[in-house]
């Protein structure tokens, strides 16, 4: 888990000045050029990283309140999650040219840009059904939700 006490207070202000992210979620329909890195999703929704406070912890979520996760097999800012992995764990991709302060962007094989926190690409989990769900945390000992501050 990651803890960053200053980021939690500054994130809302920073995002208000940098705009929203377009983030693909799910795996139905469409294609993004047939690249193996595609999640197979043409639809996107407006989302921003933000925080929720279930049980007193600040959980990093998208703008819809869906939990964001990191993957231990990613290294040096490079995603290792493609194909069936990316269908289960959709990457948190964006069309933004610049990430908000405290975040970064990593390039995926299909040319899309994935938001990263402390160099770790961010994902959602298809098994989370409602905002604030954290069903993906700890799966296989290699998927972790991101907690900030607290």
Residue 19 and residue 109: Cα distance in Å, rounded? 25
* Sequence spans of domains, the chain: 5-26+46-130+137-148
pLDDT, tens only, 107-116: 999 999 999 9
The DSSP output letter for 66 is -
pLDDT digits (tens, 9 = 90+) for 65-109: 999 999 999 999 999 999 999 999 999 999 999 998 889 999 999
Dmax (CA) of the chain: 42
The residues, any chain, with a CB within 8 Å of residue 46's CB and separated by 6 or more, are 20, 21, 22, 23, 63
Q: What distance in Å separates the CA atoms of residue 59 and residue 52, rounded to the nearest whole number?
A: 5
């Amino acid at each position: 888990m990651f803890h960053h006490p200053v980021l939690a207070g500054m994130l809302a202000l920073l995002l208000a000045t940098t705009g929203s992210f377009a983030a693909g979620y799910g795996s139905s329909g469409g294609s993004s050029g047939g690249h193996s890195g595609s999640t197979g999703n043409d639809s996107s929704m407006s989302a921003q990283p933000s925080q929720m406070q279930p049980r007193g912890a600040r959980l990093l979520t998208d703008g819809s309140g869906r939990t964001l996760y990191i993957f231990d097999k990613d290294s040096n800012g490079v995603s290792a999650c493609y194909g069936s992995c990316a269908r289960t764990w959709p990457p948190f991709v964006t069309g933004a040219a610049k990430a908000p302060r405290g975040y970064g962007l990593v390039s995926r094989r299909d040319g899309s840009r994935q938001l990263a926190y402390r160099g770790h690409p961010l994902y959602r989990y298809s098994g989370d059904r409602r905002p604030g769900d954290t069903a993906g945390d700890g799966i296989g000992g290699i998927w972790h939700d991101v907690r900030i501050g607290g």
